Amino acid sequence: MSAAGGSSSHFAWVLRLADTNLVLAQRLGELIGHAPALEEDLGLANTALDLLGQARLLLTHAGQLEGKGRDEDALAFLREESEFLNATLVEQPNGDFGDTIVRQLLFDAWQVPLYERLTLSRDPGLAAIAAKGVKEARYHLRYSAGWVVRLGDGTAESRERVQGSLERLWPFTAELLQADDIDREMHAAGIGADLAAVRGDWERQVAATLAEATLERPRDRPWRWYGKRGEHGEHLGRLLAQMQVLQRTHPGASW
Amino acid sequence: MDTAALEARFAARIDADERIEPKDWMPDAYRRALIRQMSQHAHSEIVGMLPEGNWITRAPTLKRKAILMAKVQDEGGHGAYLYGATETLGVTRAALIDELLAGSAKYSSIFNYPTPTWADVGAIGWLVDGAAIMNQIPLCRCSYGPYARAMVRICKEESFHQRQGYDIMLSLARGTLAQRRMAQGALDRWWWPALMMFGPPDAESKHSAQSMRWKVKRFTNDELRERFIEFTVPQAEFLGLEIPRGTIDWSEFHEVLNGNGPCNRERLTARRHAHEQGRWVREAALAYAEKQRSRQREAV
Amino acid sequence: MTTTRDWPLYEVFIRARGGLDHKHVGSIHAVDARMALEHARDVYTRRQEGISIWVVKSSEIVASDPTEADAFFEPARDKIYRHPTFYDIPDEVKTL
């Protein structure tokens, strides 16, 4: 399949991945210089840089699929909130370090099995990005799972805090793991992945980490978030207002 | 060997340009001077993450965002190298950080200035990192081995910092009227503080002479300052920007150094906040590791 | 402000490329070996500086005493016959 001239679903599906990476990188970027220990500043920044790098490749790829001449910056800085298709999980605020690291675990445990499957995508651009990204994602998972275990099996205070983070963030995981029409269409076309299979891997990884961390798996909730369809909560608007301020204030300027 | 003989041997080693290593005998004053200078240097890197970190979320392009994140991260890395090198002198990082947070340790005054515009990120890279590199390159040959080795690593990594700053200024200087004004404003703000980074004039510098003798310092403050001006003026001309006229206001330098600069309180508050908010995390990790060790002991 | 109990100190050694020794590069703080490896990776290999990392708890390192340096290292100084340049071999003799 050539890069240009993808279907609108194809474009939207790549944007989902791109925006999810970009928004999480933006959140982690807020933290650099404010982590609990100097070494964690460096670790979180490494993750942020990896995700931002993937976001740039994915946005560029999406722009080519769309074929309207939009580059990574046009897509990142000149789209509105409802046009962002990131998963709602990643726009959640950093909160305390427990929130940050639980959000990361729930995300990493999804990204690794997703990328593993996307390395076989019929979209060669996407397959190449996934092949590069999966190595990065595996390290991120090692890092976030390690921290969730330390906090869960650490002190009474840390266990209580991180269990709270898990309860708060759990409802946002459903949209990552349940296919909607576009997910199914892309899977059928051999471009996307089987989210049911991704979910199986995710469940195993998360269950193993929570068991080691002596944490309890929260109950699933009926409410569904659909950031991936542009239906966001209250946090993304502010995040984008900040991220896009210079491009919006100085239209057409180069930087 | 008595102290006089040890001191004579130490002085001879310094004169012969030998490196002093952590377990070697050294005069207390040398040790104290190194701890002071190296920990201030480490603190400066850590506090220095804040003014530029202020723009990570607002960088105008994704490429600039990635570069800035990497740069601010590098500063954290440099802080880590320098704290590690200082620890070889028999102090703990925790104690040094406690001094910083208590307000009793100094760090480079330059980081107490605000970064109101994107151009400030450019000016910091170009001028502040430029001045820092000029100060730091001679430290790669300083007499204390761990400090010199940390500085070699740092200087290698810093070489991109100044260039990315100038690159930002170049884009702004070639940009719209608003961007050019932004660039000039940042140069106006950072020029004098950057010149102050070389420290007080030689005649007033209280640590210089001894540091030169010990080969911790290799050029005087004024020598380095003059060299910096010589290099920077043509770079500003190329950008079409004007170097501010006037002379250094040393009373401002002392005010900022004594805690009365524009952002002294904000910077320390941010560091204290991160430290306090992170306490439960650091303690949890220690508790986890202790539990693991006792589990392993029981299993044996 | 209460005094902080810092994480233990580890020394970091990195093998830059296949075929080279691990070389000491500095130190990091970590609670255990796993975290020490992660911190060493995050702090010391941001620019592809390595392909393998060793971490050792700083307190576990046994070092020679500089005041005994004479006794330790001077005796090797006069054994110049251990070095190949000690021997004069006629130019006509090859591959020796």
Q: Which residues of C touch B157 (CB under 8 A)?
A: 47
CB atoms B98 and C67 under 8 Å: no
CB atoms B93 and C6 under 8 Å: yes
Domains of chain C by start residue, with CATH:
4-62 (3.10.20.520)
CA A67 to the chain's CA centroid: 25
Q: Give pLDDT tens digits for B234-250.
A: 999 999 999 999 999 99
Residue A1's pLDDT band, with cuts at 50, 70 and 90, is very low
How much is the average pLDDT of B25-54? 97
Tally of CB atoms within 10 A around B183: 29
Nearest-by-Cβ selection for A242 from B57, B274, B288? B57
pTM to 2 decimals? 0.95
Please tell me the distance from the alpha carbon of residue C44 to that of residue C41, in angstroms, as a whole number: 6
Q: Is the pLDDT of residue A6 over 80?
A: no
How much is the average pLDDT of A35-50? 97
Nearest-by-Cβ selection for A43 from C29, C34, C38? C38
Superfamily of domain A8-249 in the CATH hierarchy: Ferritin, core subunit, four-helix bundle (1.20.1260.10)
Q: Is the pLDDT of residue A5 over 60?
A: no
Residue C5's pLDDT band, with cuts at 50, 70 and 90, is confident
How much is the average pLDDT of A53-58? 98
How much is the average pLDDT of A91-117? 98
Q: Give pLDDT tens digits for C19-38.
A: 999 999 999 999 999 999 99
Q: Give pLDDT tens digits for A14-28.
A: 999 999 999 999 999
Q: Is the pLDDT of residue C1 over 50?
A: no
Q: Which residues of A touch C38 (CB under 8 A)?
A: 43, 142-143, 146
- Residues of chain B with pLDDT > 90, as a percent, come to 89
**Nearest chain A Cα distance for residue B185, angstroms:** 17
Q: Give pLDDT tens digits for C43-95.
A: 999 998 999 999 999 999 999 998 888 889 988 888 888 888 899 999 999 88
CB atoms A38 and B69 under 8 Å: no
How much is the average pLDDT of B77-105? 96
Give burial (CB, 10 Å; 0-12/13-18/19+) of B163: middle
Size of interface A-B (CB pairs under 8 A): 144
For chain A, what are the domain ranges? 8-249
Substitution target in B9, B93, B99, B157 with the highest count of C β-carbons within 10 Å is: B93
CB atoms B49 and A161 under 8 Å: no
- CA dist list (Å): A94 to A144, A165, A199, C77: 14, 11, 24, 61
Q: Give pLDDT tens digits for A218-227.
A: 999 888 899 9
Q: What is the pLDDT of residue A2?
A: 43
**Contact by Cβ (8 Å): B84, C55:** no
Helix axes B177-196, B221-239, angle to 10 degrees: 170
How much is the average pLDDT of B133-139? 91
**Nearest chain A Cα distance for residue C38, angstroms:** 8
Q: Which residues of A touch C4 (CB under 8 A)?
A: none
Query: What do you get for the CA distance between the two ends of chain B, in Å?
Result: 48
Phi-psi map region of A214: left, alpha, beta (phi>0 left; psi -120 to 50 alpha): left
Please list, residue by residue across A182-210, b when 16 or more beta carbons sit within 10 angstroms of its beta carbon and e when fewer do. Answer: bbebbbebebbbbbeebbebbeebbeebb
Q: Is the pLDDT of residue B19 over 50?
A: yes
> Residue A63: which of A25, A18, A128 has the closest Cα?
A18
Side chain identity at residue B185, one-letter code: G
